Amino acid sequence: MSPRLPAVICLPYNYPVMSSPFVPKRVVVAAYPKMPEALTEAESMSAFLKEKGMDAPVGSLYDEGLRRRVKQGEFDMLVVVGGDGSVLRAGHLCAPSGVPILGVNLGRLGFLIQIDRKEWRGYFEKLLRGEAWIENRMMLRAEHIRAGESRGVSHALNEVVVGRGQNLRPVRLTAFVDARQLTSYVADGLIASTATGSTAYALAAGGPILPPELRNILLVPIAPHLSVDRAVVLAEGSSVGIVVKSENAVLSVDGQLPSPLMEDDVVNVTAADVTAQFVRFGDPGYFYRNITMHMNENSLGLPR
């Protein structure tokens, strides 16, 4: 049996233009604290950079002192050692301050990460030689509205999800695009995703893969029941309003702990003013090579 692939992989006509060569001067190395090997690897990276004449402090990604220094602009690059979840947390931390992120993968998938733990020394050498470039990825701004008043704003690198909570019943949702009603759903939920998130939850729900440079919002229903079951790619600049029509819904942003929603609550989703910046190497085709590599790896263990 062949692996189930998304219905569409949307490829651009041309690769995006790479930015000017990037060479950092003030680096911090942050490790995911729940991976014991991450801190050991991070200390090795710091020692390597110190040998090259660059002081690079080490800390936990959750350390408030380190996070405060990043927010204050003390660094011009953050190396995050962990998996995709660590990169998401680093994105939330670094995007408002415009600090680029270099990920080193110690996790399982690494869709967001170009460098494996066995390769970082070679890539660090390339970095110091000016062979890196900066990739900008769109983030989402999600605002929770209740009775006309804002209940809070969150930012997402992957996705904003309005879905059912622990109750097994589906939720009823109505989606609006640019203030015009699109459709109503009876489903386990609705995903509003970035192009980055198209390889995350949206992919698992059957959505297409979008190239990372796109600034479009992708809408993907989760297990729709007698409802529209197709993903929709919105035009760049479009806004989304998700109106809750049942009582058992929750809001989750980038997989963080969900917050409860009430009937008639609205979640407005737009492109955020900030972008997540990633340090990349080689041509932008790395994204497609990474995707196909993971798909081939996952297919190896499936029965034929």
Judged by phi (left if over 0) then psi (alpha if -120 to 50, else beta), residue 189 lies in: left
Is residue 100 a contact partner of residue 134, using CB atoms and an 8 Å limit?
yes
Burial class (CB in 10 A: 0-12, 13-18, 19+), 276: buried
Exactly one of 55, 63, 84, 116 is catalytic; name it: 84
3-state secondary structure of 55: coil
Tell me, yes or no, if 84 is annotated catalytic.
yes
Cα–Cα distances in Å, from 75 out to 22, 29, 136? 14, 10, 18
Cα–Cα distances in Å, from 93 out to 13, 60, 80, 247? 33, 13, 11, 32
Placement of tokens 């190396």 in the chain: 79
What are the E-state strand segments in the chain?
27-31, 58-60, 77-82, 101-105, 115-116, 132-146, 149-156, 159-164, 171-177, 180-187, 189-193, 218-222, 232-233, 240-244, 249-253, 259-260, 266-281
Other residues' Cβ atoms within 10 Å of the Cβ of residue 215: 14
Other residues' Cβ atoms within 10 Å of the Cβ of residue 126: 12
Residues designated as active site: 84
